[in-house]
Structure 1
Amino acid sequence: MPNKLTILLCSTLLAGCETAAMRDPGSPFFVIPAGTVLELKQALDVPPGQAHVKFQHGAVTGSFDDFTVGCRLNVKNLGPMTLQPERFSVTRAEVDERWEIYPTLKAFYRILYLHSAQQPEVQSLRCRYQTGGLEGRDISVPQIREALGNYFSLDIPQPQ
């Protein structure tokens, strides 16, 4: 009987730790919920011949430093076009990791699928970085905010 009680107690403690990390937006284990809002704070130009705008260290960039979190806002059609300030609803969020070159280079992704009735051409925000082999963690909300800078805010609803 003590063995069953010990197992139950340990399982409960471990589940409690996991839940706390998953509810902390600063944790790489945080699950970004549907209903989160990504707000574009200023007009944003999509370059000619591109279907995305890249951000890193709070600035629009043409290319990424792959070893630092960078985000790409994806649209349906090729630019040029100008996106207007707006609140985009996150309909779904995904976390992924992939080996770029096994076993030495791994990429981590966080993808937010977006919806807007006024600007339906905006599809998703895809954030990514890569790191050596067994290093690295999933991308956290603070890392996304740092990559986007003052162009966007990411408003996460409070848990009920």
Structure 2
Amino acid sequence: MMTRISGLLVLTVVALAGCATPVLDESAAGYRLPVGTTLVLRQDLAVPAGQARVFLQHGRVVAKHRLDVYRPHCNYEQRTVSDGTAVIAADRFTVMAVSEGEDFVVQRRFFVYAALTLAGDDTSPSQINRYFHYTLASSQQPGVMRLTCHGGFDLPGAAQLPTLADMRAALGQVVSIERP
């Protein structure tokens, strides 16, 4: 009996997920750039030594240690870690696939008051960052893997995916978006 209920539950979830419609309102947080979109990188991006990503925020390149993770930002990512000489060259990249995800930061609370929390509730997510992964393709630079745009860390109930306006603000004049 329990197996039958579990099976029905799984089928229901899969069916509902298949019915999910894409967000078409460009101002909404769930709007994704469609597959086939072209991202035009207008300047070369130097990839710092020991990293595989270059971060953009407020329309300019930002060092990882200077990034405001609580505000929208994007990053280009290549397949290999840089030795300090890697450059993602100005180019046209096509969006081949889109996915969304979440990063959780769990903080252990050292002082927990029993009256304010359930026993053992000391590892709940303190912050969540929601993002879109845009898998990229370029015949000139097959090592460039993706562009990820983050909404910024926030409390679990408040974290948002980035809007198209957030992505444009993060990328500024460095990257232009040409939708199909």
Pairwise TM-score range, normalised by the shorter structure: 0.7 to 0.9
- Matches of 2:77 and 2:47 in 1, distance apart? 9
TM-score using structure 1 length? 0.78
1:15-56 Cα deviation digits (max 9, x unpaired): xxx96x811222112232110111101122122232111111
2:141 paired with 1:140: no
Could you tell me how far 1:151 is from its partner in structure 2?
Answer: 0.9
TM-score using structure 2 length: 0.70
2:127 is matched with which residue? 105
| Alignment: residue pair count | 139
| CA-based RMSD | 1.9
Gaps of 5+ in 2: 1-19, 107-123
Structure having the higher helix fraction is 1
Between Structure 1 and Structure 2, which shows a larger proportion of strand residues?
1
Alignment of 1:120-159 (within 5 A): 120-128=142-150, 129-157=152-180
Deviation per residue, 1:45-73 (Å, 9 max, x gap): 12223211111111111122111011111
Q: Which amino acid aligns with 2:147?
A: L
3-state SS in 1 of match to 2:31: coil
Residue 22 of structure 1 aligns to a residue whose secondary structure is: coil
Counting aligned pairs with the same residue, the percent is 29
Cα gap change, 1:133 to 1:90, in 2 (>3 Å): same
How many angstroms apart in 2 are the aligned matches of 1:44 and 1:112? 18
- SS class of match (1:147): helix
Runs of 4+ in 1 over 3 A off after TM superposition: none
Equivalent-residue separation in structure 2 for 1:37 and 1:23 (angstroms) = 18
Offset at 1:136?
2.5
Whichever of the two has the greater Rg, that structure is 2
- 1:112 Cα deviation from its structure 2 partner: 0.6
3-state DSSP of counterpart to 1:104: strand
Matching of residue 95 in structure 1 with residue 100 in structure 2:
yes
**Aligned match of 1:7:** none
**Hey, what's the Cα distance between the residues in 1 that align with 2:53 and 2:91?**
17
